[in-house]
Amino acid sequence: MGEVRKLQKKLRQIENLEIKISLTSEERFKISRKAELRSRLAELQLQLSGPQQTLGIVGDGKKEKMKRQVEDAPEALPSQTPPASKILKGEEESRPRETPAPAARPRKTGGGAETGRRQERTEPAEVSAHSPDVSGGSPDSDNQRLVQQEEAEFSSLQSSWEKAKFRLRLLEGHNDIVTCVVAVDNLVVSGSRDTTVKVWHVPTATEHKNLGGHTGGVTCLSAPPPEYCRRLARSLSLSDKERFILSGSADCYVKIWALSIGQCVKSIYTFNVVTALCFVPEEDGYIITGSDGGKVQAWSWHTFENCQSINAHQEAVTSIQSQGPLVFSGSTEGGVSVWENRCSDQDPLRLLHHWSSEVTGCGGGPGGRVTLSPRGDRVLLAHGRAWLKNLHWRSGTMSRLTNHSSITGVTDCVHQTGGLLIGSCYDVANGESSLNIFSLPQCRYLASLTWPHATRVLCFATWTTGSGDHRWVTGGRDLIVWEQLPSSGKQRGDVTARRDSRLESCSLESEGDTEDDEETDEYEEKDSDEGRDSGCDVTEDGGSASWLRCVLQ
């Protein structure tokens, strides 16, 4: 087991090395040994666990893995099952499924709230078989019907995603890692470490515009809503239909681009490397930026002047998201801050809550990158581990959702859209990548999607067509547009939908140390210590911030 962990650490270090722009001869030699290390790790895992337990974790190559996935794919299910395109109906449909949980809580015999719900899901059929038919119904029978209805709806969703088909189209043009993506109408906008922002026309999968102007890697993008675009367009004597994109870069600039003319209409110098940004559509509008030094700044959309600068975090801000008047920021040390926008000309942000890494449990890892996805009273966090964290930001209560069945799994990004939670999944031990789909709000596992020669997904954006079908875009080494195909059509998709049985039993679990947790934490702590000897130099530039600096340098 000791050699297995040592190999896993080395592979993690190599993955961090590969995203650096310039490499020394020693680093190139380390990278050249990746295939050898993976092969040795596969042998050891087979010896320790046996082939049945390592199926899906260890493979003899991508072709064999994909062949196995196709052979294991489920048969087509009855036609009455609704297609995956009908899954997303907005928050209105996802909320009613939350109602059975409170009434069912008295049935719990231990564990957490979700454990109680899992017990209820298996009990109703047995109970209803022996319960008398009481006229008018009883609270217990009503509750049973609600639970059964919830189970039927979930089974329908799961069946739909097992049949989901997507066509993938590679967008070629960037010559370095794609760090950020956004979707605007029929356009995809991507930012890259190659310093460019590119605009892509989705229906034709062609490059529409190449926006050059940054002198450092592009780290973040944001798209203001149409009404705020119209205000700026009028002041610039442009069409009311003009759309704008914000880009942040390691060159310390935020640039505002007019998409139709492909030009930068405004540059804001921030005096700091910009590592994250978002747009807050409140009152006149605000641009919120985060820096590599942990600073959060607010800028007026009306005057483009700095309204506020706050030393909010100890290390680099890696993610900023807005939700109405609220702003959420996360940093490499694992801290999460929640701000309220008071819509004032000076100091518009007021801190509501700050939860440190001791609460979130997201700090100190080799990845050093926290990605946020807020909704309501909770924020889902991806932080380079095999699981996602769920923070109830008002109370500081934490829970955990397994996103990979091995400790060699890495979650780089998390995204919520309608009734779905999507987490990226990458295995450093074998280089396999997939997207895991969960239903909201219970975060129950639906399916995993993988594709030929899948590379690590570092950024993600989603939108739906007028007919309700999904369109996604993923970025990393490759920039790929996903277009959902009709489930009833004869056209074959490029994506393999499968179900990982090891994730089926996983659900949101309250934070608590188990034997597995302790083993994983011990492994990651040692991994961070050994990182001092790696080419990425984990300790030189602020510990866990090394991932970000490797990307930007």
Determine the pLDDT at residue 282. Answer: 93
Largest CA distance in the chain: 80
More confident residue, 53 or 167: 167
pLDDT > 90? residue 223: yes
Distance CA 448, CA 414 (A): 14
Average pLDDT score over residue span 315-323: 94
pLDDT category of residue 389 using cuts at 50, 70 and 90: very high
Tokens of 118: 């899992």
Contact 422, 460 (CB under 8 A): yes
234 phi and psi, to 5 degrees? -65, -40
Hey, what CATH topology would domain 165-410 get? Methylamine Dehydrogenase; Chain H (2.130.10)
Q: Could you tell me the pTM of the whole model? A: 0.73
pLDDT > 60? residue 277: yes
**What is the residue-wise DSSP string for 130-179?**
HS---TT--HHHHHHHHHHHHHHHHHHHHHHHHT-EEEEEE----SS-EE
Per-position b or e across 450-462, b if 16+ CB within 10 A of its CB: bbeebbbbbbbbb
Distance CA 302, CA 322 (A): 18
Give the residue among 69, 59, 169 at the shortest CA–CA distance from 431: 59
Q: What is the 3-state secondary structure (H, E, C) of 290-325?
A: EECCCEEEEEECCCCCEEEEEECCCCCEEEEEEECC
- List the chain domain ranges: 2-54+514-552, 165-410
Tens-digit pLDDT profile for residues 1-18: 677 778 777 776 676 666
Tens-digit pLDDT profile for residues 168-199: 999 999 999 999 999 998 899 999 999 999 99
Considering only 198-207, 354-363, 442-451, 528-537, which range has the smallest mean pLDDT? 528-537
Amino acid at 436: N
Contact 46, 53 (CB under 8 A): no
More confident residue, 160 or 518: 160
Q: What is the 3-state secondary structure (H, E, C) of 469-533?
A: CEEEEEEECCCEEEEEECCCCCCCCCCEEECCHHHHCCCCEECCCCHHHHHHHHHHHHHHHHHHH
DSSP state for residue 543 in the 8-state scheme: G
pLDDT > 80? residue 493: yes
Contact 322, 279 (CB under 8 A): yes
> Helix 2-18 vs helix 25-32: angle between axes, to the nearest 10 degrees?
130
pLDDT category of residue 33 using cuts at 50, 70 and 90: confident
Distance CA 220, CA 330 (A): 14
Computed on alpha carbons and rounded to an integer, the radius of gyration of the chain in Å comes to: 24
Distance CA 63, CA 45 (A): 20
Distance CA 35, CA 340 (A): 48
pLDDT category of residue 444 using cuts at 50, 70 and 90: very high
Collapsing DSSP states into helix, strand and coil, what is residue 542?
coil
Q: What percent of the chain has pLDDT over 90?
A: 51
pLDDT > 80? residue 528: no
Determine the pLDDT at residue 364. Answer: 59
pLDDT > 70? residue 75: no
Average pLDDT score over residue span 305-310: 96
More confident residue, 409 or 34: 409
Distance CA 112, CA 387 (A): 18
pLDDT category of residue 327 using cuts at 50, 70 and 90: very high
Give the residue among 441, 415, 411 at the shortest CA–CA distance from 425: 411
Considering only 315-324, 432-441, 459-468, which range has the smallest mean pLDDT? 459-468
What is the distance, to the nearest Å, from the Cα of residue 216 to the centroid of all Cα atoms in its chain? 24
Q: What percent of the chain has pLDDT over 70?
A: 73
pLDDT category of residue 203 using cuts at 50, 70 and 90: confident
Tokens of 332: 């490499």
Q: Which residues contact 33 (CB under 8 A, 6 or more apart)?
A: 14
Distance CA 334, CA 383 (A): 8
pLDDT, mean over the chain? 78
Per-position b or e across 531-544, b if 16+ CB within 10 A of its CB: beebbbebeebbbb
Considering only 85-94, 206-215, 436-445, 507-516, which range has the smallest mean pLDDT? 85-94
pLDDT > 60? residue 200: yes
pLDDT > 50? residue 547: no
pLDDT > 70? residue 112: no
Q: How far is CA 540 from CA 227, 296, 524, 531, 543, in A?
A: 45, 23, 18, 10, 7
More confident residue, 194 or 141: 194
Average pLDDT score over residue span 369-382: 93
DSSP state for residue 13 in the 8-state scheme: H
Average pLDDT score over residue span 134-139: 59
pLDDT category of residue 28 using cuts at 50, 70 and 90: confident
Average pLDDT score over residue span 256-268: 96
State the sign of the Cα–Cα–Cα–Cα dihedral 35, 36, 41, 42. positive
Determine the pLDDT at residue 509. Answer: 75
More confident residue, 53 or 348: 348
Contact 455, 476 (CB under 8 A): yes
Neighbouring C-beta atoms of residue 261, cutoff 10 Å: 13
Considering only 204-213, 258-267, 368-377, 502-511, which range has the smallest mean pLDDT? 502-511
Considering only 62-76, 283-297, 367-381, 493-507, which range has the smallest mean pLDDT? 62-76
Determine the pLDDT at residue 23. Answer: 55
